[in-house]
A and B are shown apart, each in its own frame.
Chain A
């Protein structure tokens, strides 16, 4: 029993040290110009880290405005998509005959590239509001919702249907109805699967939010800023937004892992 927490801690240390060391080596090579030689590029296209950090500092107000715009889209889409996906999974688990088939169709949404999805959705939502900002936000949130829905519905369905051996028999011997079975067995059983889905959909929500901004009518968001600045050859500013995008992604993922550890602590 005592060996487990120890080896767990060692694993945690190992899994943190290696990426950090790699990151340190990369940044050093980047700052010293070694990376530029390796990639056969110059500090104009790939500015030094210090330069990028300076730009982030100088433009923090504008960057934060774009960060909030992107986060709003990613989080709203993640929440709507996850809830919708879970409800679809509940429906599919309640009516398995048609349910599992429709899930196959929904999971194929995962295979549609966002670049293909975005123009279609933007076209659909062009009449929802007279204001371009609102129209665009709706379109972007819908795109993220669709992408997040797919992974949640597929995983939640597994959590609602792949039950421990005899657990359904147990419910039946207590004379439990379907609602009780759902509340006491299926729902709690699906919780780890919700996190499996979120491990996929949290990073994807950010990526799809950024990419959907490319196609949106209203110009805002971290992804859009990357594109706009590259178009006008402001590579340092573009890189500032790229770094910010990475930080958002990592921060959201870390938050998710922490939440997962907290919620599932007792089960493992």
Chain B
């Protein structure tokens, strides 16, 4: 405990975090128990697990969208609420959550409208971010005119607008087809390398988590708990072909075997 707080590189510290819901029948449901871990600055972490393991709950607790019923979360010394209000987070959701009444570029500008940034600054940064996700030429389109993968990339561009330190991604590619998803994996890693964010990526896809992450945090259900943390020491930058290597396959089975009670 003392060691970890002294470590300057720790960005998010989870200490015995737990979440208990009151179910409709009056019983208590333990969505999450005793999650303790440190996430370092600039790390790419996956929260991996089957449905009901509490991975999204954990992400939402970090994001201050849920309050844990026990334990503590610190984000560089701040509570999640303080961190949220300091705009340290940006979130990417399962669906792109673009506003259909705004053009692509106006969607990307939205966070800076909320922070009352000047018009020219908004436009300038939005152009830069759209360029980063490779969608410059679609800036005046409306969301419905884009494919699911493109919409999700707009969501990522929007998330980067406030220059957050931490990018929280909640199964962002789960609704996409395999081809699009694999392409977005490579794109996301490029963006990560350019921007140096800490990324927490929730997924139920084992190979996705191995391909992307520095560390895979395996969560198991009933009750939701952290059952293993597996370091992924594959070299970077990673290309699609790495999935065909024996090292990759070995890590995938190592992750798979670390699940408990599924």
A interface with B by C-beta (< 8 Å): 164-167, 169-176, 180, 184-185, 188-189, 191, 266-268
Contacts and interface: CB of A to CB of B under 8 A. Distances in A.
Interface of B: 63-65, 84-85, 87, 89-91, 93-95, 97, 99-101, 110-111, 113-115, 142, 144, 162, 168
A188 B63 contact: no
Given A184-B110, A184-B113, A267-B142, A173 B97 contact: no
Given A173-B90, A180-B114, 11 more contacts: A165-B97, A166-B93, A166-B94, A170-B91, A172-B84, A174-B111, A184-B113, A185-B99, A188-B101, A191-B101, A267-B142
A169 B100 CA distance: 17
A165 B87 CA distance: 21
Given A266-B101, A267-B142, A166 B84 contact: no
Contacts of B110: 174, 184
A203 to B, nearest CB: 26
A164 B93 CA distance: 12
A267 B144 contact: yes
Nearest to A165: B95
Residues of B contacting A: mostly: loop
A184 B162 CA distance: 17
A23 B91 CA distance: 56
Contacts of A188: 99, 101
B101 A173 contact: no
Given A174-B87, A175-B87, A166 B99 contact: no
Contacts of A180: 114
A172 B65 CA distance: 8
Contacts of B85: 175
Given A172-B84, A174-B87, A175-B84, A164 B97 contact: yes
A169 B84 CA distance: 12
Contacts of B162: 174
A268 to B, nearest CB: 7
Contacts of A268: 144
